[in-house]
């Protein structure tokens, strides 16, 4: 099968521009729906970005039209926008990169190839999202516990975690309250959703009922 560009010459007609724009928006909508129905953390701003990214990339590629210098400048602008944004999860970055890649294909005139790759990306992403191995990751949480400074945090929870979590790892320690408190961050894998509440209750008995927060890994964008 041979994929030809819809741009027969260097000139851009209204018809080809409309075809490219409609294709880019359709691709963006499909990616937005994929993210909407396969992710637990549903960011409206990310859905908005996924819908409009292919159209933006396609417009830039058409405007550059083979100019290498302009292409490098545009790539630098995209990089600046990326690094000034909130860090995303690996799945979200992959989805955005795929979204932009298809926008690039459309901007180059390979609309048929773009839709073929859209079908491939969509099937792969949906299939991988519902594999048993990826569902196990839903049990991995980030647990933040505040303890007083006079409490030995290295051993105080040793008898609690094995009861309710398959794995636990202390990944961050931070002082607060002018040094009177410690904020501990654990990475845990709970055995069951019911065990999560029991675990939090047991921790509250040991930390003097100070704040305890348990979130999905994807919800916490703070870098250690």
Binning pLDDT at 50, 70 and 90, where does residue 220 land? very low
pLDDT in tens, 90-139: 777 888 888 888 988 888 888 999 999 999 999 998 888 777 655 555 66
Binning pLDDT at 50, 70 and 90, where does residue 184 land? very high
Contact 58, 18 (CB under 8 A): no
Angle at which helix 111-129 crosses helix 14-38, to 10 degrees, equals: 0
The encoded tokens of residue 52 equal 């409009």
* Burial 34-54, CB ≥16 within 10 A → b, else e: bbeebbeeebeebbebbbbbb
Distance from chain centroid for Cα 74: 23
pLDDT of residue 120: 94
Rounded to the nearest 5°, which phi and psi values hold at 67?
-80, 110
The conformational region for residue 179 under phi > 0 = left, psi -120 to 50 = alpha, else beta, is: left
pLDDT in tens, 75-97: 565 655 554 455 556 777 888 88
Say how far apart CA 141 and CA 153 lie, in whole Å. Answer: 19
pLDDT in tens, 9-49: 656 778 888 888 999 999 999 999 988 888 766 678 888 88
The encoded tokens of residue 7 equal 């741009």
């Amino acid at each position: 099968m041979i994929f030809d560009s819809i741009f027969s010459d260097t000139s851009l007609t209204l018809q080809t521009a409309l075809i490219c724009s409609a294709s880019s928006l359709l691709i963006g909508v499909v990616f937005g729906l994929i993210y909407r129905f396969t992710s637990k953390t549903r960011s409206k701003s990310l859905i908005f970005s996924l819908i409009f990214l292919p159209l933006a990339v396609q417009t830039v590629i058409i405007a550059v039209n083979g100019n290498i210098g302009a292409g490098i400048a545009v790539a630098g602008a995209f990089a600046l926008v990326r690094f000034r944004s909130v860090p995303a999860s690996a799945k979200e970055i992959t989805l955005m990169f795929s979204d932009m890649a298809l926008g690039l294909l459309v901007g180059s005139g390979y609309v048929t190839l773009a839709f073929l790759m859209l079908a491939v990306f969509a099937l792969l992403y949906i299939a991988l999202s519902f594999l048993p191995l990826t569902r196990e990751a839903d049990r991995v949480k980030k647990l933040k516990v505040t303890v007083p400074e006079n409490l030995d945090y290295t051993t105080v929870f040793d008898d609690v975690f094995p009861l309710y979590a398959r794995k636990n790892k202390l990944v961050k320690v931070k002082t607060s309250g002018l040094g009177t408190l410690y904020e501990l961050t654990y990475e845990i894998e709970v055995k069951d959703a019911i065990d999560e509440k029991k675990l939090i209750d047991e921790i509250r008995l040991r930390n003097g009922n100070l704040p305890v927060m348990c979130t999905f890994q994807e919800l916490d964008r703070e870098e250690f």
